[in-house]
Amino acid sequence: MTPRRISVFGATGSIGANTLDLVRRDPEAYDVVALTGHANIADLAEAAVVLRADVAVTSDGDRLDDLRVALGGSGVEAAAGQGALLEAADRPADWVMSGIVGVAGLAPGLRALRHGGTLALANKESMVCAGPLMLADAARYGATLLPVDSEHSAIFQALVGEDRDAVEKVIVTGSGGGLRDWPVTRLPDATPADAGSHPNWDMGQRITIDSASMFNKAMELIEAHELFALPPERIETVIHPQSLVHALVQYVDGALMAHMGAPDMRHAIGYALHWPHRRPLPVDRLDLAAMARLDFHDPDPERYPAIGLAFDVMRAGALAGAVFNAAKEAALDRFLAGEIRFTDMARDVARVLDVAQGEGWLDADAPDLDMILQADRRARECLRDLPRT
């Protein structure tokens, strides 16, 4: 069998490591085109050498020399900077992982769609900021967009072979995050370390803190709205502390199709890697008899104000997703820097959305990448300029 050409954007991150874990188990099956990272040059170079990538790219233009040294005489090409990232995305590949964190993943993902292969989308920011643009470009270039976020992979799998018109609603589950048992009154005191440990999933720092605030779930609700073309009233979220049911699709006949599995991203990544087939994956199997119980409850809006904001964003449409994501990223930066409290993040994001709505810069007809990135910058500035108390 001819090896499949694959590229992994964000190869040094949590999604990237899980993707490369699957690739390393069957190296003959893949011809690695490009691997990208940002600051972690050692891991990037190691993976590129072992997997014999054509090119290793750091998006940080100042790290080219470090990367060259780390690649030694391996024959792997080194490249650095934003231009190099886009050039890597232009290199034809059959399957590309979009695993960069943040809005930085949007432009390379859009470029990768142009060669008409498969884009495995872990970077949820792409859908939140630019859902209609991503879908339009995928259709235009004949590319396949597959969800990797576990909940969206679960929904996608529960939709296989079904009539989309028969879907009544989708239910996205969430663990409630690392602070779910804290009294609401203590949440303002939570530190990044408190918020940065997850009860079930092992993920990058930013998404783990976003899980504690449920900003991650808010992003996922918007992502589901865009990916599956569902109106906000047909999307719900429920807290499910065990993280074993990843999402559910309810059909008009009352059937509720749940996707269950161990919380291991290699399932969703592997599903996207092998789609439309299913292949064996090295993930734990659930022992139903040992699973004492499955709990579900509605999220408390006072504890998780981000969820309400997600529905406001879906209803506002246009640039609201880009503004929401940027404000959320900037608020998280301020929280990590110790400038604002945990609970200030949702308050500040709501304020930025209010300002943008009031000043009329949420509106746009079919926004393109430049308009989206401009709204992103404006939202970050707006958040930085908010009063500190």
Q: Which residues bind Mg ion (CB under 5 A)?
A: 149-151
Of 100, 145, 222, 227, the one binding ligand NDP (CB under 6 A) is: 100
What DSSP assignment string belongs to 202-241?
---HHHHHHHHHTHHHHHHHHHHHHHTT--GGGEEEEE-T
Q: Which stretch binds ligand NDP (CB under 6 A): 99-107, 322-330, 337-345, 352-360?
A: 99-107
Residue 357 C-beta-side C-alpha neighbours within 13 Å: 14
Write down the least CB distance from residue 111 to ligand NDP, Å. 13
CA 28 to chain centre: 28
Nearer to ligand NDP, 14 or 213 (CB): 14
Write down the least CB distance from residue 14 to ligand NDP, Å. 4
Total residues interacting with ligand NDP, rule: CB under 6 A? 27
From the list Mg ion, ligand NDP, none, which binds 8 (C-beta under 5 to 8 Å, kind-based)?
A: none
CA distance 67 to 71: 6
Handedness of CA 232, 233, 234, 239 (dihedral sign): positive
From the list ligand NDP, Mg ion, none, which binds 104 (C-beta under 5 to 8 Å, kind-based)?
A: ligand NDP
What 3 state SS string does 253-264 have?
CCCEEEEECCCC
Is residue 44 within 8 Å of 67, Cβ to Cβ?
A: yes
Write down the least CB distance from residue 220 to ligand NDP, Å. 8
Nearer to Mg ion, 7 or 243 (CB): 243
CA 366 to chain centre: 22
CA distance 274 to 236: 29
Write down the least CB distance from residue 148 to Mg ion, Å. 9
Nearer to ligand NDP, 61 or 188 (CB): 61
Residue 78 C-beta-side C-alpha neighbours within 13 Å: 22
Q: Is 59 in the site for ligand NDP (CB under 6 A)?
A: yes
Nearer to Mg ion, 85 or 218 (CB): 218
Nearer to Mg ion, 12 or 175 (CB): 175
Q: Which stretch binds ligand NDP (CB under 6 A): 37-45, 231-239, 289-297, 338-346?
A: 37-45
CA distance 132 to 341: 34
Q: Is 144 in the site for ligand NDP (CB under 6 A)?
A: no
3-state secondary structure of 276: coil
Query: One symbol per residue from 182 to 211: x for binding ligand NDP (CB under 6 A), - otherwise; what is it?
Result: -------------------x-xx-xx----
Of 7, 118, 123, 343, the one binding ligand NDP (CB under 6 A) is: 123
What contacts 88, CB < 8 A, 6 or more positions away? 7, 9, 33, 34, 36, 55, 57, 79, 108
Residue least distant from ligand NDP (Cβ): 13
Is residue 281 within 8 Å of 208, Cβ to Cβ?
A: no
Nearer to ligand NDP, 101 or 222 (CB): 101
Total count of residues recorded for the chain = 389
Binding site for ligand NDP (CB under 6 A): 10-16, 37-40, 59, 99-101, 104, 122-125, 149, 201, 203-204, 206-207, 265
